[in-house]
Structure 1
Amino acid sequence: MSDDDIEDLQVTYPGAGTFKFGDSAKLSAKLIKRVRAGQKHATSGALRDFADDPDAMPKVGRCDIAANWDGTPALVIRTKSVEQVRFCDVTEELAHAEGETLEGWQRGHKAYFERNGGFDAEMMLLFEKFEVVEDLASRPAMQTEDKT
């Protein structure tokens, strides 16, 4: 992907931030695949992770670019809602919005938080529901070799 492609995305989606799902190439690819399949339309993160960069927090109505693990743009999403919820208060409905059962969500996210700054059942999360605005795999210049 060229600098022109990145610039084009910034013109098309002004103010868009860029982020990656997960904390490894394998997890990132799995989560992007779930989004593309329509199984995942939400994401969550530790509220503490936004303390040093509050502008990175999702904002209702803003578009953001979800990148593949290698940094190439994969999807453009628009935030539909943002709420703060404690880990222990995440419901089956919220877990399902992330494409998981509640038990699977709790197990996977507990392990994720333990790897990334620590886990506490009372920890505050930022829970974002989103819609896909554009799947960038349809832009030939942005296709990668990742066929996951």
Structure 2
Amino acid sequence: MILDRFWAEARSAVPTLPVAVPEAWAFGATAAHADELLTLVLDCAKTGTASAMQDVKADGEPVPEVGQASVILDSRGQPRAVIVTTAVDIVPFSQVSAEHAYSEGEGDRSLAAWREIHERFWAEHCQGADGFSEDMLVVCERFESVFAP
């Protein structure tokens, strides 16, 4: 299995990674998003991501935890990178910080661009029943890319 081989290679390079293969996932809601955001990770421009708390709940996913490893997939489902979560904050959309916006690496990396990009994204792709709002809770995750062959 490709994921098992990738994880073995990652653990060989970074022996502190856990033995068990972690969750593998792609950024965004479309193939184009997945590849665009993965490229930002591979270029070391993206060290943060954000999820709507209502989507996390709708998907039945746990909130990320500090120290948690993830395998990042490209649009074809191929493993391309390993990230480790370094911080998690849950805040209303209107209180996401400029520092977090910058960490996501998108657009001009400003808070204004982050808000525009994410409001549009969640208005179109939010799975939660409440949809987008200024006071919706956002899971702001910071991470370190630890392996990207």
For the aligned pair, the TM-score class normalised by the smaller chain equals 0.7 to 0.9
Alignment match, 1:64: 70
TM-score after normalising by structure 1: 0.82
Structure 1 segments (4+ residues) deviating >6 Å: none
- Equivalent position of 1:41 in the other structure: 47
- The aligned counterpart of 1:112 is 121
- Give distance in 2, aligned partners of 1:98 and 1:134: 18
Q: Which moved more, 1:27-36 or 1:82-91?
A: 27-36
For structure 2, the residue ranges without an aligned partner over 5 or more in a row are 12-17
Between the aligned partners of 1:39 and 1:8, the Cα distance in structure 2 is: 27
Residue 121 of structure 1, aligned match among 112, 134, 140: 134
**1:87 is matched with which residue?**
93
Provide the residue aligned with 1:132 in structure 2: 145
Give the alignment's TM-score, normalised by structure 2.
0.81
Residue number among 49, 60, 68 corresponding to 1:53 in the alignment:
60
What whole-Å deviation, never above 9, does each CA across 1:74-125 have from its counterpart, x for those lacking one?
1100000111011000121110011121111111100110112221010001
- In structure 1, the residue corresponding to 2:122 is in which secondary structure? helix
Q: d(CA) in 1 for partners of 2:3 and 2:45?
A: 27
The whole-number CA distance in structure 2 between the counterparts of 1:101 and 1:31 is 16
Matched with 2:14 is none
RMSD: 1.6
Residues 1:102 and 2:111 are matched in the alignment: yes
Does structure 2 retain, via aligned residues, the 8 Å contact 1:15–1:62?
no
1:74 aligns with 2:83: no
Please, which runs of 5 or more residues in structure 1 have no aligned partner?
139-148
Q: Tell me the percent identity.
A: 27
